[in-house]
């Protein structure tokens, strides 16, 4: 039922698939309600999803997209259930897209979609303000701040000329891997997705610092 987790995992994986891939993405606590079924066409991909925020991150990342509401029952199963629309409507729509049916045949163009509470990083005098977008099973907080905001030169400099701040706590320890960090230390690093992550070695950063998805995070550049 955690839409933000599905949204993040879709964002983390989709770019590794070839051009023309059709993604059927379903986390749907609102099944059977009046929420729409949507499909998005970007420059490289198609996405089919309930209209509940699941496409927030991928469409922000893709930039260009066209949106359609799946309405044409010709492309659904004939026997419909109110509890399994992923099977009865979304999966058939995705299958038809793989066969070359145009989105315009499946439903009308729409202007917008439901978004999760999500903001792109903002440049400030101190650095950049972003947010925690995902907390993994280890309690690491993955932010929407890209690691490339920290130059290679800055990462090698001692003492560090940057820090991270969350919930009025400044984190000054930065490592290139978990192995470098002392046990139980709070630190940050650039994770495998290229994003800045908050971590505690052999512990949960989310529990220790008491933060949640959506928490504001500031990357401080310089001595700010």
Own/partner pairs, 99-107, CB within 8 angstroms, 24+ separation: 101/75, 103/39, 103/41, 103/46, 103/66, 103/68, 104/68, 105/72, 105/75, 106/39, 106/68, 106/70, 106/71, 106/72, 106/75, 107/39, 107/68, 107/69, 107/70, 107/71, 107/72
Closest CA to 40 of 27, 18, 57, 17: 57
Torsional sign, CA 173, 178, 183, 186 = positive
pLDDT greater than 70 at residue 43: yes
Fold of 122-221: Elongation Factor Tu (Ef-tu); domain 3 (2.40.30)
| pLDDT computed for residue 4 by the predictor | 87
Arithmetic mean of pLDDT, 41-51: 97
Residue extents of the structural domains in the chain: 3-110, 122-221
pLDDT of residue 123 exceeding 80, the answer is: yes
Residue 3 Ramachandran class (φ > 0 left, ψ -120 to 50 alpha, else beta): alpha
pLDDT at 120: 79
- Label residue 190 by pLDDT band (50, 70, 90): very high
In this model, does residue 13 exceed pLDDT 80? yes
In 3D, which of 62, 15, 7 has the Cα closest to residue 40?
A: 62
Predicted confidence at residue 142, as pLDDT, reads 95
Q: pLDDT by residue (tens digit) across 18-40? A: 999 999 999 888 777 888 999 99
CATH number for the segment(s) 3-110: 3.40.50.10790
- Taking residues 126-138, what's their average pLDDT? 92
Global pTM value: 0.81
What pLDDT score does 99 carry?
Answer: 96
Q: Do domains 3-110 and 122-221 have the same CATH topology?
A: no
Q: Is the pLDDT of residue 212 over 60?
A: yes
What are 77-122's pLDDT values in tens digits?
A: 988 787 788 899 999 999 999 999 999 999 999 999 999 887 778 9
Q: What percent of the chain has pLDDT over 90?
A: 71
């Amino acid at each position: 039922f955690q839409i933000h987790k599905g949204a993040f995992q879709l964002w983390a994986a989709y770019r590794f698939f070839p051009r023309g891939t059709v993604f059927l993405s379903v986390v749907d606590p609102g099944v059977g309600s009046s929420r729409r079924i949507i499909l998005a066409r970007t420059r490289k991909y198609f996405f089919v999803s309930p209209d509940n925020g699941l496409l927030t991150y991928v469409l922000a990342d893709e930039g260009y997209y066209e949106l359609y509401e799946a309405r044409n029952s010709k492309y659904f199963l004939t026997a419909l259930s109110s509890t399994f629309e992923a099977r009865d409507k979304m999966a058939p729509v995705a299958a038809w897209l793989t066969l070359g049916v145009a989105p315009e045949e499946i439903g009308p163009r729409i202007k917008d979609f439901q978004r999760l509470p999500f903001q792109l990083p903002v440049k400030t005098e101190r650095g950049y303000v972003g947010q925690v977008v995902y907390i993994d099973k280890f309690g690491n907080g993955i932010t929407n701040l890209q690691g490339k905001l920290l130059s290679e030169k800055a990462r090698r400099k001692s003492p560090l000329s940057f820090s991270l701040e969350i919930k009025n706590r400044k984190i000054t320890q930065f490592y290139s891997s978990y192995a470098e960090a002392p046990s139980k230390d709070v630190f940050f690093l650039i994770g495998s997705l290229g994003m800045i992550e908050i971590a505690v070695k052999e512990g949960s950063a989310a529990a220790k610092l008491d933060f949640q998805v959506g928490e504001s995070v500031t990357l401080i550049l310089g001595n700010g």
